[in-house]
Amino acid sequence: MLKLLSYILGLITAIALILCIACGLFYVCSWIEDRPAKSRKIGQRIAQICGLCTLAIAITDRMPNLFVLTSLASFCILHLSLDEQWHKRLPTSVRLIVQTVAPVLPHIILLHSFHPARNTNGNIIQDIPDPAYHSKPKLPGGRLDWDAYNTAQPIIRTYGAGEQLSCFALCWLPTIWSYLIAIADSAALPFANDNPTKSKRNN
């Protein structure tokens, strides 16, 4: 009976969390609908902050260069898609496609980097040049002798589950905000037509 009760309480907790998230998204979308210009500026700031964070972790945590470059390109695309001129020119469907495709490539690269077939326990192995290369015996022409071997060990960087989730969050955070803007613009949710704040302003 206690085990069944624990399952029921866990289910109730999960439902409560989902409802809290839904209410939060409802409020955020309502706020975005009332302040479209400000919400786009916030989206651009989010893309800029995510880009700076990506550069910071690239320097301090040795992330793959291809992931960093594609992430920065993705943030630039999202930043431009939220610009006022581009926002008015592009239809909502086109913006959604662009904002969805933009983070997919860095996401795939990140999945490949963390894939168990390449490493174990979230380790990314990076080869480094042998610092003792110049002290090894060499053949004529500067080639290493046949019995010389590389004594340097590769750098192994361990990424925990929280760090991996943070990287994926950086990929998708600007896109999620752009989704909310697109939903509010297209009036796809019921509150878009029955917003009491909006009706008061119109009156």
CA count, 13 A, side-chain hemisphere, 200? 4
On whether the CB atoms of residues 50 and 70 are closer than 8 A, the answer is no
Q: What is the pLDDT of residue 157?
A: 61
pLDDT in tens, the chain (203 residues): 777 888 889 899 999 999 998 888 888 888 888 888 888 899 899 999 999 998 988 888 778 888 888 889 889 888 887 887 776 777 767 777 777 888 888 888 888 877 654 544 444 444 444 444 445 555 555 555 554 455 545 455 667 778 888 888 888 888 888 888 877 776 544 444 444 444 444 44
Q: Which residues are bridge partners to 156 per DSSP? A: 125
Token readout for 190 is: 């019921």
Q: Which long-range contacts (CB under 8 A, 24 or more apart) does 10-14 make?
A: none
On whether the CB atoms of residues 170 and 54 are closer than 8 A, the answer is yes
Domain spans in the chain, listed from the N-terminal domain onward: 38-128+153-188
Q: What is the pLDDT of residue 179?
A: 81
Token readout for 20 is: 């809290």
On whether the CB atoms of residues 192 and 33 are closer than 8 A, the answer is yes
DSSP code, position 35: -
Kindly report the pTM of this predicted structure.
0.62
